[in-house]
Structures are given as structure tokens and as C-alpha cells.
A and B are shown apart, each in its own frame.
Chain A
């Protein structure tokens, strides 16, 4: 083996201490190939070395959890022998360097994670963060990311059914692209990224391996951005959704016919990671023959083949007696397949290339025994005293219109009309609703899925922000009538080498853990994305939460908003003067200060239980969660859903000594948590009030639906056409496509 230049490890992103550790593991100098493998596998992106000690505090157990963190994706029992596989992952840095391909391959990667568990990928949601959409650079990012997500998802036939898009200057130099995919399968078909016994063959399936994406996980994903990082464009992978579509169908046929012992996707760190993880999970080793890898460029060196992040590849673990069948299936679907390796007893991964052994390392040292850092942290201080100076004396109608026309609050139709939301004949509710509702194939059931995460709240108070994200995503799911059952998370933070960032991270994990425990939600997997900062400017801490809910009867799903005239409008929950971190605070003052809304977790849990109960009794004609933009935006969205107006009074604001003039706007624009708008038939009024009282959930009748205006007597009277123009036109206007 060749000796390595002493400083190469630094170029590959390894510290001197980590290099010493590699010397200790091997008892000698690493080869070029080994050093490349360690640099990727021990990168922040692959090893979670800075987050591991904290993530252990998240609850991951539950009666429905069939697979928690540690596999390619979490698996949740849906009953009747069916299971859902779901996970969210980030592709932030690639999407900044090359928006279209970065976002597209992010979607492709999370789809392969779901596939690796044996499930058919069914639908995706995306949580996106950009700077001001009116700026040319941001416009290019928005257009590229949205087109990339649409291109990939549309071409592989996986519906894109929801998510959120938020604009804030803190993301201008580091957008966030978090992609969540869910798949379904019979629970007994669950696969593992593992092998069963020595002699099992590792079959590399799919695309040829090229020089794209080399160092993607280490150089790109595990370091901060500086000026001039366009040079990192070659580190971004290039996607081929057609190849992925063939790979999906071939893998599913193999899984359905029972031809697989295990299945693993190739993502970050490519062959190195797939081989090391499979071997480590199986407690075995592997003899790897790199000459079996179909190459795009024959001049590639061993280390490049090992760490290339070329897309659309999977590793199938196969009983040698079934190899011919496996190869036949791959041939019929028109994808390449070759025997990359053979499982061996003992724990060593030995890699041969052109007649030489180029690497020989313990699998566990790559996959499990990487460095773990308990980095220094500074706990976040208490939020500054609440901001009393937010103007609350303006014209309420103007305030409602301003909120409706804010790009973060406004309709995202411009985005989701570029996504196929229909394919898979399962989309009961799609984008623009509180949560996506998907019929579970082969059953009467449905699942509901929502993503949420408010960086402004988390910037003020990371623990509260993370807890509010869990509560809001779960509330969105509960609004459909579903019972929230599991969580996946994507924790987007700046550099873990800054103690204040680590402090915020640790606090966010604690806040998330507390909320998940209180709401009975295990975290089945997810992703941590650090180094989200650009030229020293960190993003807000942005914990994104995806919540999965279960509806026993898909036909009981509650529509979003006000579906027809003649319904009573109710508000569940209490309204306080809560403006810290709100959209209104940003619009009216341009500042970010104070406390985020208070969160009473037991009250939130009672609210979810009540919604599930009311939905199961078919008492709800429509429901809508209150979040960004408070009651004002909720009323705008609820009335525009079906173009049905409403006449409502405002709820009392629980505050002492608030002048009447200010109470009106406080009720409209405040963002108190744990609130939901309901639309119900008038004859349900008594039953509804009794159910709410029994559940301990405050309820107020606000008014009734009907007409084509939003009317608050004595306060505002707006035609829906005006609201629609503000709400639907805002994003196209910001992007310069509408005058």
C-alpha cells in the first residue's frame, strides 16, 4: 500500500486528531483509498459525530415503531399487516451550489432510502427556506429548486403532495431544501440494509459510477460556505430520474418475489458507506471487487470509485442460489447489475482493484466507531422581555391584506402547480391543505403528513421553537381527523464548532423530546444538517418536523377550510397577546424579539384527541389550523379554499388592561398556539360544545359561513376577490411574474 502525504487528510476534511485515530485503528498509515473512505464516513454528514450525544435524548420507542433510527428509514405499523416507511433529509448545500440538480438529487436520495426498506415510495413533501424572493439570486434559487424537485418527482412517478416554503433574509446565503418521502408496504416485507450469512452476494444495481459528487458529504455538506464556493459545483451529483424509476421497479419486483436478503441505497460516501454499513449491521466483513463496478470514466482511481456519489445506485444482498433470478430481473428492467462483493465471516472490508488490495479496514471502524464529539456549548440565554412595541392600532383590513400578501404566508400555488400531486391514485388531500392525506394502498385507511418548523421562534428560544414545530405539525395532521403517531426530523443548524450553535442545538433537541413525549410521538429517524452558514452569517436554528398521522377510515378525512355556506364557524383554544417572532412583528417592525407563543403541551394533546373524536363522529365539515399570521391568515385561507365567505366576531383576548382598540388587532394577528378553526353543521352545535367541554378544550362560536366576503362586523369587510388577489398574487409578484 502506498504511503499518504501527511497533509492530505486535512484537504479531505479530517482533523489531525482524527487522522491519529485512523493510524491507531489500522496500526499503520492508511492507503489513499482508505483515507478517502475514512474522510467520508467520519464526516459530520455521515457520522453525526457532533449530534449523536444529543440525539439519544429523543424518544424513539413506541408500540407502532417497527424500525427506529439506525436503518435507511423508520418504519411504522399501520395495522392490518401494513406499514409506512418515512424519513426527511436535507440537501441544503448542493441546492445552493447547483439549485436544480441539488434539489433533484435530494429527492432522489430520500426516495432510495424508502425503497431500501422494501416499500414503494408513494409521496413526498418538501420544506424549503430562501431569502427574499424579490432578489435576483433568490429568484434563481427558488426557480431552480422548485423545478428540480418537480422534474425528479414527476419523472419517477412519486407524487409531491405538500410541505412549506418560508422566506427570510437569514437563508439568503444558505437555503434549506429538506425532502420527506413516505412509502407503503406489507409489514412482513420489511428489508434491512444487512446480509444474512457469509457467502451472501452484494449486487451493485443501477447507474454507472462516475466522478460526480466526489466529496459531497465531506467537503460540501460538512463545511460552511465562503465566498467563491461556486468552485464546489463538481461536488454536486447529477440526477437521472429515468434510471431511478427503473431502479425502483426492479427493486420492488425483487422484494415482492422474495429474492433479497437485504437492500441498501448508495448515497453519501457511495460504495464506501453502503459496504461499511451493510457489513457492520450484519456483523460481518466483505470482499469487494471494484473491477466489477461499471465506470463512466475508465481512468477513475480506486479511491474515486469508492467515494463517488453517482446517483441511482442500490446494493442488493442476495443468496448466491438466487443470483441468476436477480440478474434476470435487472436485465428485464434495463439496469446494470454486477456482483460487487461477497459477505465474509470476521469484520473486515477488503477492497481489490486491478489486482491489488487497495483497502482493508474493519467495517465497524468506518460505520460505528467514528469520533463522537461532545462539543462545548453555551446554553441559550432567556429570551429578551416581550416586545410591547408592536403596533396594534392600524386598520385591521389593511393588516389582513398585508398578511395575505406576505410571500411566507401567501399561497404557494406557483410552487406546487409544478409538481404532480396525482400519480399513485392515493392523494385524498394535497398541497394547500393543513396536511396531505394519502390513502394507504390495499386498505380503507389513510395517513396524514405535515412538515413544519418556525426558524423565527427557534431563534428566540430554540427549545420552545422545536416544541412548537412538533405541536404545529401534529396539529396540522390532527386537523384532518388523523391521530398523530410518529415523527421524523431534520435539524438545520449553523456550525457545531460554535458553542452558541451547539447550545441552541442541544436546547432544540430537549424541546423536541419534551413535545414528542407529551404528544406520544416517537422519532423514527431523520437527519442533522450542520454548517448552514455563509461567510460567517448563520441561519436561524431551523428544526423541521414531519409528523405522520393515521386515519382508520379514509372517507372520514376532514377537508381543509370552509367547504360550503351555512356552516357554523368555531374557534378551539385560547387567544392571548402573543406577537414575539410573529409574522406581524416582522411586517410591522422589521424586528425579531420577545418570547415565541407559549405552549401548553397537555392542552395541545387534548386538542388533538378532541379533533380525532369529532372527525370519527363525522361532526366536522372543515377544519384549519392557526399558525403563521394567526386568526387573520387562517380566515383568509379557510374562506379562499372553496370561495365561501364568512361573517365572524373576534375571540376575546386573554389580557389584562389591553385597550379595546388594540385587542382587535391582537386577536387577528397574534400567533397563540393550540388553536383550530372549525366549520360544522348548525345542528351539531350542542354536541360539539359538549364534546369540547368534556375534553377540556376552550371553544368559542365565531359566526357562520356564507356569501363572498370576509366580514368582521364593525372591524372589516373584504370581498374574497380582493383577498384572493393578495393571497394568490403575492408570490408570482415577488418573483416578478405578475405586475
Chain B
């Protein structure tokens, strides 16, 4: 299964995401921000980093890149898309996911291992997880405070995919929301970094379930 990983100028975790896909048995494909062509991939990851420097609002420029036009079309057609950290910010800016990500409540960049609880398994990226399961995955961001108009309505619609476990909310996100999905469930975004949590040599492996889910869907 071919999983495309987009490289924007300023992406930092694109190599990590490709390595994670490969480690989990997928076939990583590098996608370039300036190309409008997704090279026939079966799923797309928008990785962490600082796209175009993020000197404006995070992800605000990346949403206009040629590749995002193709990603939007791919998502409309039901293709699995995962936005991690900066990728989550890009998806929110592009209107493919609800809500926005603001400056951390503590006003500082936070790099920390946290526990997130799986709320929704009805997505392309959590189908192999168990509802209520707790995953150990690191966060690292300065602007990860999730806000939306009505978190309760979002949860009622099943669109809250991950919440930080009690006491683990690192950024003041509303209702401890760590990740959300679109109504169809093929597009998921989260602030924690599953690509940094697949190899036991490097720490906890709470990220494996996300890659297992998408890879299992089309094998």
C-alpha cells in the first residue's frame, strides 16, 4: 500500500513519517508541495514541521500550495488523509477539519510524552484501535491548543477521535481534544506525533495503531 508523505518547505517530520510507514510495512512515497499530482498513492500524511516557516498563522500558507488542491480532491473522494501537528493545522486552515489550533496556554513550546485516549474508531486511521484505549505518543508544539465552536456537538457527532488522558493536556485544548475527524471519517488530524511512536528502541509505541489501521484497510 502506497502512503504519500507531503514535503512542504519547512516540513521537519516528513522523513520520520516515511520511516514509520516503512517500519509498519507500508510503501512510503515522497510528495512535493509544488506538485498537483499525488502519484497514485492510497493514503496521504501531512507531516509535522513549520511549513513555509509558519511566520504567518501556522498552516495558513501551506493550504494554498498546489499539492493541497490535490489533497482536497483526494479527501472529497474518500481517500484517507492524516494531518500530524503542522499537518493538522494545515487541514484546519484548509477547511478539511473543523476548529483551529492556537498558541499553547502556557505560551511555550512543549515536548512531552503524553497519553491519549481513543474516542472514535470509526475512521480510516483508528479502525484497528479499541475505543477507550490509551496510547502513549509524544507531543511537541507551540501552537496546539484546539478550539472549536461547540466541542460537545463535535463529540456528539463522533468527530472527536483522541482526547488527552486526564492530567495530560499539554496546551489547554478545549475538552482535552487531541485529534478530530471529518464527518466521513477519512480525514483525521491530531497534535501528537504517532510517527515518533512506532519503534520500541526509541520509546513508547502508541502510534503503531494509526498506521496499522490505514494499512489494514486496503491490504
Contact = CB atoms under 8 A, between A and B. Distances in A.
A256 interface: no
Interface stretch (B50-58, B157-165, B176-184): B50-58
B55 A242 contact: yes
Interface in B162-180: none
A318 to B, nearest CB: 23
A425 B199 contact: yes
Given A242-B55, A423-B12, A427-B202, A147 B108 contact: yes
B50 A155 contact: yes
A157 B13 contact: yes
Contact of B109 (A154, A427, A554): A154
B10 A155 contact: yes
A150 B109 contact: yes
Interface string A140-182: 0000000100110011110000000000000000000000000
Contacts of A419: 109, 111
Contacts, number: 86
Interface residues of B, number: 32
Interface in B39-69: 48-50, 52-55
Contacts of A555: 201
Contact of A426 (B20, B110, B138, B202): B202
A423 B193 CA distance: 10
B154 to A, nearest CB: 28
Interface in A111-159: 147, 150-151, 154-157
A423 B110 contact: no
Contact of A439 (B16, B48, B201): B201
A417 B111 contact: yes
Contact of B108 (A333, A418, A420): A418
B53 A422 contact: no
A334 interface: yes
B50 A425 contact: no
Given A242-B55, A428-B201, A418 B109 contact: yes
A689 interface: no
Contact of A425 (B11, B15, B55, B110): B15
Contacts of A295: none
A159 to B, nearest CB: 10
Interface in B133-163: 138, 140, 142
Highest count of chain B CB atoms <10 Å: which of A157, A416, A418: A157
Contact of B20 (A155, A424, A425): A425
A428 B202 contact: yes
A424 B53 CA distance: 19
Q: Is the interface of B mostly helix, strand, loop or mixed?
A: mixed
B12 A156 contact: yes
B9 interface: yes
Nearest to B142: A154
Contacts of A147: 108-109
Nearest to B200: A555
A333 to B, nearest CB: 7
Contact of B9 (A240, A333, A426): A333
Given A150-B109, A155-B50, A417-B110, A424 B15 contact: yes
B9 A154 contact: no
Interface string B1-38: 00000000111110110011000000000000010000
B9 A157 contact: no
Contacts of B9: 242, 245-246, 333-334
A332 B35 CA distance: 12
A421 interface: yes
A245 B55 contact: no
A156 B54 CA distance: 12
Contacts of A333: 9
A155 B54 CA distance: 9
B138 to A, nearest CB: 5
Nearest to A333: B9
A422 B196 contact: yes
Contacts of A422: 16, 111, 138, 140, 193, 196, 202
8 contacts: A150-B109, A154-B50, A155-B53, A157-B13, A245-B50, A420-B12, A422-B16, A422-B193
Q: Which 3 A-B pairs have the closest CB atoms?
A: A157-B12, A242-B53, A422-B196
Given A245-B50, A426-B202, 16 more contacts: A147-B109, A154-B12, A157-B11, A157-B13, A240-B53, A245-B9, A416-B111, A419-B111, A420-B12, A421-B140, A422-B111, A422-B196, A423-B140, A424-B16, A425-B19, A554-B201
